[in-house]
Structures are given as structure tokens and as C-alpha cells.
Amino acid sequence: MALDVTDSAGRADQLLAGLLLAPGRRERITHVHRAPARTARPADWPAWTPPVLVERWGACGIDRPWAHQVAAAEHAHAGRSVVLATGTASGKSLAYLLPALTAVLDAADGPATACPGVLYLSPTKALAADQLAGLTRLQLGPELRPACFDGDTPYAERDWIRSHANYLLTNPDMLHRTLLPGHARWARFLKNLSVVVVDECHTYRGVFGSHVAQVLRRLRRVCARYGSSPVFVLTSATVSDPAVSAERLTGLPVVEVTDDASPRGEAAFVLWEPPLTDHQGEGSAPVRRTAIAETADLLTDLVLNDAQTVAFVRSRRGAEVVALLTRDALAEVDPALAGQVASYRGGYLPEERRALEHRLRAGLLRGLAATNALELGIDVAGLDAVVLAGYPGTRASMWQQAGRAGRAGQGALAVLVARDDPLDTYLVHHPDALFGRPVEATVLDPDNPYVLAPHLCAAASESPLTERDLDLFGPTAELLLPTLEQRGLLRRRPTGWFWTRRDPASALADIRGTGGAQIRVCEVDTGRLLGTVDGAASHTQAHTGAVYLHQGRQYLVRSLDLAECVALVEPAEPDYSTSAREVTDIAIVDTVHRRPWGEQVEVCFGTVEVTNQVVSYLRKRLVTGEVLDETPLDLPPRHLRTRAVWWTVTPDAVAEAEVEIADLPGAAHAAEHASIGLMPLFATCDRWDIGGVSTALHPDTMLPTVFVYDGHPGGAGFAERGFAAAEQWLRATRDAIASCECATGCPSCVQSPKCGNGNNPLDKAGAVRLLDRVLAEADDIETDDIETAGTDTAESVEFAAAG
Ligand SMILES: Nc1ncnc2c1ncn2[C@@H]1O[C@H](COP(=O)(O)OP(=O)(O)OP(=O)(O)O)[C@@H](O)[C@H]1O
């Protein structure tokens, strides 16, 4: 594309011009989106603001609040729960600190036992630590007693926190596992709880969000027991329908504030497509240069250009590799700079992460390759540029990551580097799908019986459940209670439902849905613990033969022992990466909704039983992506009862689409892969959160069928969104396949990185014709046309301790 950036003097354009100096770079840009600068709209401090706060914030350079900060603070001060949905770095912290600290300081002269308390919830420990540092800087004296309470808090400090803290910074996990089950020990704090801050509330989505919604209901119930009724303040830079989402999350009426009055520097957001290479992938398909290699090049150039840059990489492994390649490249030019580049991801020890955050803030690190563990709200000032190695899965996440650059009103550059997959390819060629559109709806289903059942047990163990509590937990609660009684988990007595066991009920709910026990990753010779991997992820990431990376060092997994929950690794220097392959079977348990599209096509939504097995892994050259070989694995199958969307098509329609019977498996398979790739455009999910199966004849439908299912027990709401937006979703799928420049299918359109059948068979042209036929009589779903057929799954719920 024609691009003239040289005559503009802005910082973003200077950096972009620097990137374009290398040959062949200009052609890789598919679009530049520009966000103009915005001037600030300040307001007066509310009359009720304690003078000490005005003075302390003034000392930090904040002379007047911005209008949106005052609007949100006034709502909270008046007792109305509020969600503040304004851009990254728009000062959302001050908006909740103002009413929260006012409540604490106003009561400072009263009795210590009645001092109002603030509960601050953040999805990550790092964000809570960042907030605590900000509170401490305000130096408000002994009236404010803030404390972080998370898994890293030493036991010796916990007693002090319970007895004295009046500003508790914690996370939903601690609330669920420690604070609520042990509420009697926290009675002082809960009785006086006046403000609950739910920071970065858009992160509470899918299964995790549904669990958090129930944890918040349990919190409200316990508070009511102690006589308190806290106001909720929620924040997010990237949530659509803020009030609706916040109401679903808290179960309370919530007002929204969305008019952003903070200043912003000019920003450029560049879409970037790596070139095709001469290498051949599976089935001799062309291979694009990897987003990892391309990102490492951009990070190198930006660091050389004196731009402090964070590269966001989707996988932990990818973050390590980008840091490694960047350091190598810088070492050739300026060895001192190589030492100023690092990687950051979950799974590092807390002290390692804190040290990296500190070096980044202090400007000692010039380049960082990070996973989204760094994404949320950590106040990193002065970032000049952000590179996104692959679309992070949602527009919400994309804006969060891009928003790390250009804080405090500077100009900034963001570059999205497309990975070799259908969604990324579609997006860099359809900028309208990214810019000028609201972020996607937060998918949340607190009524999912798999989610609700363990929280009902937990609530009963916190205080017996009564009829009056049922409203709080929603209509599914009443349906579930008889099942929980039958299973012997709850017992009904005249005064309510009681938890019957001695073990903690909260252990029934794995709120992060991490899929079972953590696997410890240990060095074989020294026994040193390097980190941990989730149980469910261990089959794909820590199988025997996998390449595992930690702090830039590579290891090979020598063995994975699922019974002992340990993977033994040894240091190694392979020049390849590994990717696991899995095969999947699916059976329909219950069809909840059916939607015919004419006579020949039907789209359905319901409950399915999925059997998944990792069967092999591929070795791929690190930088080129070339496939070296495939090695079989012997891992047990995993079973999952979940929700799926599926479509069927009759043999007549297949014939009308001019797809031969012999080509049907390849056409359906290609359509399935691409539709999984495109689903994140419609539901807030990641392609790894969902899976698919396609078959030319499914035993339950007796028709050619393509399924896409939620990869979480009980479902996560993604398949349901796919069903609701089926026409747009399948149309985008069809367009993504048709517009890919390859001849017969490649990773940018119909190949899938985790296909257990080696991406075979795949028929790209057949998929387009099949989808054209499927869509021929499609129309937008009207609720009235949806036939609700099945029963819900309340009776079939199974979870951890129920079996
Ligand atoms: N009214 C104001 N005037 C000037 N600076 C302000 C004002 N309010 C906040 N700031 C500054 O703006 C920066 C960003 O604030 P903060 O981190 O609270 O933003 P945020 O909206 O919470 O960001 P994120 O979306 O990353 O969580 C901070 O350095 C803060 O000191």
C-alpha cells in the first residue's frame, strides 16, 4: 500500500519510518489506523473530598480530576454501584480511590471497630501489588492500613491483616478459597465493608467469569449476614455494554460512566502481514514467516531506535523465543542492549516477576517479550511502542495491550503482526473488523449448572442456604438443590440446606477451570522446580519430547508422569519447537435449540460428550515453521461434557454444492477448521478454548455434520454465541477461506495447528462451495424461530467430588 510517513514529525510516525528502512518491509503493511489526539476535560473535586487527598494527589501531579472520574466517584459516594468504562490510562484508579479512601478517612475519628473497609479485587497478583505500591506512595498515615492478601502472603502476616487491614487487595481465588469459607475470622472486616472494587472487570468472562459472578453473590450474602451492603465499583477499558455486563457479574443494578475526559496523544496502529516463504508445510502448503520471527525483528529495530517496547506474544513459549531471538540479534550490534531485553510470563516465581516489573518501570529494560500476564493495568509509564505477535483473540485484549504504549499523553506506535492462521489473515485484510467497532460482548453464564452447583455447596457451608437465598443465585439454583441432596452433598433440614461433609466445599469449584492438578516441571539432574503447568495443558505442553522454555533457556521434557503430577526436563538447545496433535470424538447428549435454514440445513445448539486424546507431536523449525517430523504419543483420553453448536446438511444439498461424496470429508473438515479460527470474532474466546469435529456421516444426526464445542465442562457460552450469530460467523468463515491467496489451503485459512489428523483431508474449494450452500437460505436468527427442544443439564451435572 502507498504509505507516506516521512513528512510527519509525530513520535509514532518516526518509529514506523524507522521500521520501514529494512528492504521489503513496506509491502507487509496492510493498513494503518490513526487515532487522533484528544484534549483533557477537567472537573472540580467533589465538595466531600478530604483536603488531604487533594493535597496528596496534587503532590503526584494531579491538580484536578477529569470529568469521568468525578462522575463515577459521585455515583459510588451516593451508594450507587457503578461501572467506569473509559480508555487505558484514563485514571480509573483515582475514580474508585476517591470514594473508597474518603469512606476510610471520614471515619478515622470514629471507633476502630467501625472503620469502613475497602475490598479491591484484581484478576492478577501483579496488578494488586501495583495498586498497593500506589496507595503506599500516597502516605496517608495510620488511618489507611492497606494489605495485599494472596497466595504469596506469609502466614505470619495474615493475622495482622485480619485484625487491622481496612483496604484489602486480593483476588477472586482468595475470596473463594479462604476469605468466604473462613468468614467468621474476617467478621470485623466484612461487617464494615463499604466499597468493593472490581478492577479490569472484562477479564471475568467465560467459565472463570461465571465462577466469579457466583463468588460475588456469595460475598454479598455473607456481608448481608454481618449487616453490611457494600457498593460495587467496576472498571474496564474494554468492555461492551458495561452496565449489562456489570449487572450480570454482580447481580446488582449498576450505572455506567463511559464518556472519557482524559487526554490522549496521537497513535498509529499498523496491521502487518509477514511474507510467504519458500518453505513447505504440511501437504506442501506454502508457509508464511512466523509472527514470532517477525516480532523479534521489529522488537530488535525498535530497541535500537531507543523505543521502549513490549512485544505481546500469545504463548509462554513464544515469549521466551522472541526474547531469545531479539537478544541474539542485538548482541551482534550492541551487546549492552542485549542485556536490556527479557521475557515475562505466568509460571515464573513471584519475585522474578516483581523484579522484571521494577526494571521495566525504571527504564532499565528496553524490550520485553511478555504474555498477557503483563497485560492488565500495570502502570508502565513511557512505553513508546507495542508489538502484538498475533491477534490476541479479542478486540478487548488487543486494545488493552496496545494501550500500554503512549501513556501520559505521548504519541505511540502499535503493530499487530498476523500469525499464519485464518483469523489473523482475515483481520489484517479486513481492518473494519477491528477498528471502529465496539469490543465484543462479555460472555458470561452464571447459571451454568456446572458452575453454580459447587458454589451452592460452598454457600451452604458458609451458612445454611434458605429459600430466601434462592433469588440471589438465580433460577437454576432451585433445580439443582434436589440433585445435590440426592448426591449426599447437601442435607435439607427445617432451617435450610446444610453442607454434609467435613472437607471444604470450596474445593469443588476450580474457578480458573485449569483442568485438574498442576503439573510440576522439575530439572532432572538437580530436582529444581522450574515452574508449573495446568493439568489439562500438560498433555499438549509438557508431554514427553516437548520443548519447554523457562527464562530464555530451553529444556526437553524427558518424561511426563501424570500420576505423580511431575514432568522431568533437561536443559537442551534444540532448533525446533514442538506442537501437540489431538483427535476428538463427539456424541450428542441433548439438543436444546434447533434452527432450520430452509429444508436442507439445520443449525443446532446443545449438550455433547467429547472425548479428546493427544496422539502425537510435530517438530517444527523455530524460525521458518518448516515441519521436521511427527512422533506418536501414548497419553490417555480425556472426557468432557460440554455445549456445542453444530450444523447439518443433507446429501441433496451437498450434491447441489457440487461437492462429490469422496470430497465431502475434506470440505467439511476445512470448513470446521476455519470456523474455529473465526469464532473468536463473535464470542470472547480463544481458538484454544474451543474445539471442533467434522464428519461426513455422524451417528447421532445421520447426516454430514460440523461441530464446534466449548472446551470447558458444562460449556462457557462460546458455542451459544456461535449459534446466536451463526449466519455472520459462517459467512466470515466462508470469506476468510475464499480470500486467502494460497491455492489449496494453508495455515492462514483451513489448516489447524492442533489437528490430530495431520490436516488431512482438507478441500479448500469444496469448503467454500459447501458453505455457500449452507448459507444460501440463512437469515438472522429471530428468537421466535428457535425451537427449544431439550431439557437442561441440571440433572446431569457432575463435578469434582460428586462421583
Ligand atoms: N486527573 C488526572 N490528571 C492527571 N493525571 C492523572 C489524573 N488521573 C490519573 N492520572 C494519571 O494517569 C495515569 C494512569 O492512571 P491509571 O493507571 O489509574 O489509569 P487506568 O485507567 O487505571 O489505566 P488501566 O486501563 O491501564 O488500568 C497515572 O499515572 C495517574 O497518575
Residue 227 maps to which CATH number?
Answer: 3.40.50.300
The HSE-up count of residue 393 (CA atoms within 13 Å, CB side) is 18
Residue 94 Cα to ligand 1 midpoint, Å, equals 7
Residue 229 Cα to ligand 1 midpoint, Å, equals 28
Rounded to whole angstroms, how far apart are CA atoms 255 and 75?
A: 8
Are 64 and 155 within one domain? yes
CA-closest residue to ligand 1 atom 10: 91
Locate the ligand 1 atom nearest the alpha carbon of residue 404 and give its number.
26
Q: Measured in whole angstroms, how far is the alpha carbon of residue 184 from the centre of its chain?
A: 33
Spans of the chain, pLDDT less than 70: 1-9, 109-114, 282-283, 347, 375-382, 407-409, 437-443, 513-517, 551-553, 623, 684-688, 753-754, 756, 758, 779-803
The HSE-up count of residue 348 (CA atoms within 13 Å, CB side) is 28
Residue 552 Cα to ligand 1 midpoint, Å, equals 33
CA-closest residue to ligand 1 atom 22: 92
Residues with CB under 6 A from ligand 1: 60, 62, 65-66, 69, 88-94, 237, 377, 379
Of 257, 280, 311, which residue is a domain's last?
257
Residue 416 Cα to ligand 1 midpoint, Å, equals 25
Rounded to whole angstroms, how far apart are CA atoms 8 and 88?
A: 25
CA-closest residue to ligand 1 atom 14: 89
Which DSSP state fits 349? -
CA-closest residue to ligand 1 atom 9: 91
Determine the residue of 39, 53, 62, 127 to mutate for testing ligand 1's pocket, defined as the one with the most ligand atoms within 8 A of the Cβ atom. Answer: 62
Determine the residue of 202, 379, 399, 439 to mutate for testing ligand 1's pocket, defined as the one with the most ligand atoms within 8 A of the Cβ atom. Answer: 379
Contact 357, 345 (CB under 8 A): no
**Which residue, 558, 79, 63, 35, is CA-closest to 260?**
35
Angle at 112 between CA 106 and CA 113, to 5 degrees: 115
Q: Which three cell numbers stand for residue 769?
A: 462451495
Residue 68 Cα to ligand 1 midpoint, Å, equals 12
The reported pLDDT for the residue numbered 503 is 83
The reported pLDDT for the residue numbered 685 is 66
Q: Does 556 reside within a domain?
A: yes
Which DSSP state fits 593? E
The reported pLDDT for the residue numbered 199 is 94
Q: Does 366 reside within a domain?
A: yes
Rounded to whole angstroms, how far apart are CA atoms 519 and 563?
A: 10
612 strand-pairing partners: 584, 638
Locate the ligand 1 atom nearest the alpha carbon of residue 57 and give its number.
31
Contacts (Cβ under 8 Å, ≥6 apart) of 389: 291, 292, 294, 295, 311, 312, 313, 314, 318, 322, 417, 419
Rounded to whole angstroms, how far apart are CA atoms 549 and 409?
A: 36
According to DSSP, the β-strands at 601-621 and 627-632 are antiparallel
pLDDT tens digits for range 124-142: 777 888 899 889 989 998 8
According to DSSP, the β-strands at 82-84 and 231-235 are parallel
Please state the φ and ψ torsions of residue 21, each to the nearest 5 degrees.
-65, -35
DSSP per position, 472-515:
HH-THHHHHHHHHHHTTSEEEETTEEEE--SS-GGGG--TT---
CA-closest residue to ligand 1 atom 5: 62
Residue 733 Cα to ligand 1 midpoint, Å, equals 39
Are 66 and 188 within one domain? yes
Q: Which three cell numbers stand for residue 116?
A: 469502613
Rounded to whole angstroms, how far apart are CA atoms 604 and 593?
A: 6
Domain hosting 346: range is: 272-419
Determine the residue of 38, 93, 234, 398 to mutate for testing ligand 1's pocket, defined as the one with the most ligand atoms within 8 A of the Cβ atom. Answer: 93
DSSP per position, 400-411:
HHHTTSSGGG--
Rounded to whole angstroms, how far apart are CA atoms 451 and 316?
A: 28
Locate the ligand 1 atom nearest the alpha carbon of residue 88 and give its number.
25
State the burial class of residue 202 (Cβ atoms within 10 Å of its Cβ: 0-12, 13-18, 19+): buried
Q: Which three cell numbers stand for residue 710?
A: 466449548
Rounded to whole angstroms, how far apart are CA atoms 175 and 157?
A: 17
Locate the ligand 1 atom nearest the alpha carbon of residue 60 and give its number.
31
Residue 92 Cα to ligand 1 midpoint, Å, equals 6
Q: Does 379 reside within a domain?
A: yes
Rounded to whole angstroms, how far apart are CA atoms 315 and 313?
A: 6
Q: Does 633 reside within a domain?
A: yes
Residues in the chain: 803
Rounded to whole angstroms, how far apart are CA atoms 467 and 447?
A: 17
CA-closest residue to ligand 1 atom 8: 91
CA-closest residue to ligand 1 atom 12: 91
Long-range pairs for 534-540: beta carbons < 8 A, 24 or more residues apart: 535/565, 536/638, 538/562, 538/567, 539/580, 539/582, 539/614, 539/635, 539/638, 540/580, 540/582, 540/614, 540/754
Greatest extent of the chain over all pairs of C-alpha atoms, in Å? 82
Overall number of domains in the chain: 5
Rounded to whole angstroms, how far apart are CA atoms 342 and 368?
A: 5
CA-closest residue to ligand 1 atom 26: 377
CA-closest residue to ligand 1 atom 25: 88
Residue 81 Cα to ligand 1 midpoint, Å, equals 21
164: left (phi over 0), alpha (psi -120 to 50) or beta: alpha
Residue 91 Cα to ligand 1 midpoint, Å, equals 3
C-alpha distances in Å from residue 155, one per residue of 128, 163, 248, 319: 18, 13, 34, 33
Residue 235 Cα to ligand 1 midpoint, Å, equals 12
Write the ipTM.
Answer: 0.97
**Which residue, 125, 112, 122, is CA-closest to 164?**
112
According to DSSP, the β-strands at 601-621 and 638-649 are antiparallel
Instruction: Give the residue ranges of DSSP H helices in 107-170.
Output: 125-137, 155-164
- Which residue type occupies 137? R
Are 481 and 402 within one domain? no
CA-closest residue to ligand 1 atom 3: 62
Are 765 and 793 within one domain? yes
Rg (CA), the chain: 27
Which DSSP state fits 38? B
Q: Does 741 reside within a domain?
A: yes
Whether cis (ω within 30° of 0) applies to the bond prior to 146 is no
Are 656 and 762 within one domain? yes
Residue 135 Cα to ligand 1 midpoint, Å, equals 13
Are 606 and 724 within one domain? yes
**Which residue, 141, 165, 145, is CA-closest to 53?**
141
Are 56 and 172 within one domain? yes
Are 358 and 471 within one domain? no
788 strand-pairing partners: 593
Are 570 and 593 within one domain? no
Residue 340 Cα to ligand 1 midpoint, Å, equals 27
Residue 686 Cα to ligand 1 midpoint, Å, equals 29
453 SS3 class? helix
Q: How many CB atoms lie within 10 A of CB 782?
A: 8
Locate the ligand 1 atom nearest the alpha carbon of residue 378 and give its number.
26
CA-closest residue to ligand 1 atom 28: 91
Instruction: Give the residue ranges of DSSP H helices in 362-486.
Output: 395-402, 422-429, 449-462, 470-473, 476-486
Are 670 and 747 within one domain? yes
Q: Does 387 reside within a domain?
A: yes
The reported pLDDT for the residue numbered 517 is 67
Strands (E), 171-230: 193-198
Locate the ligand 1 atom nearest the alpha carbon of residue 200 and give its number.
27
199: left (phi over 0), alpha (psi -120 to 50) or beta: beta
Residue 69 Cα to ligand 1 midpoint, Å, equals 10
- Which residue type occupies 651? P
Are 187 and 335 within one domain? no
Rounded to whole angstroms, how far apart are CA atoms 690 and 726?
A: 15
Locate the ligand 1 atom nearest the alpha carbon of residue 86 and give its number.
21
Locate the ligand 1 atom nearest the alpha carbon of residue 379 and give its number.
17
Sign of the alpha-carbon dihedral angle for 701, 702, 706, 709:
positive
Which DSSP state fits 385? E
Rounded to whole angstroms, how far apart are CA atoms 118 and 192?
A: 9
Residue 302 Cα to ligand 1 midpoint, Å, equals 26
Rounded to whole angstroms, how far apart are CA atoms 777 and 99?
A: 54
Residue 782 Cα to ligand 1 midpoint, Å, equals 43
Q: Does 432 reside within a domain?
A: no
Sign of the alpha-carbon dihedral angle for 714, 716, 718, 720:
positive
Locate the ligand 1 atom nearest the alpha carbon of residue 199 and give its number.
27
Locate the ligand 1 atom nearest the alpha carbon of residue 66 and give its number.
1
Of 202, 227, 257, which residue is a domain's last?
257
556 strand-pairing partners: 547, 570
Of 574, 604, 619, which residue is a domain's last?
574
Determine the residue of 38, 54, 70, 90 to mutate for testing ligand 1's pocket, defined as the one with the most ligand atoms within 8 A of the Cβ atom. Answer: 90
The reported pLDDT for the residue numbered 338 is 93
Residue 87 Cα to ligand 1 midpoint, Å, equals 10
Locate the ligand 1 atom nearest the alpha carbon of residue 400 and give its number.
25
Residue 117 Cα to ligand 1 midpoint, Å, equals 23
Are 471 and 568 within one domain? no
State the burial class of residue 87 (Cβ atoms within 10 Å of its Cβ: 0-12, 13-18, 19+): middle
Residue 412 Cα to ligand 1 midpoint, Å, equals 17
C-alpha distances in Å from residue 766, one per residue of 43, 265, 696, 701, 737: 60, 48, 13, 21, 10
Rounded to whole angstroms, how far apart are CA atoms 643 and 610?
A: 10
Locate the ligand 1 atom nearest the alpha carbon of residue 93 and give its number.
18
Residue 144 Cα to ligand 1 midpoint, Å, equals 21
Instruction: Give the residue ranges of DSSP H helices in 593-741.
Output: 651-656, 664-678, 718-724, 726-739
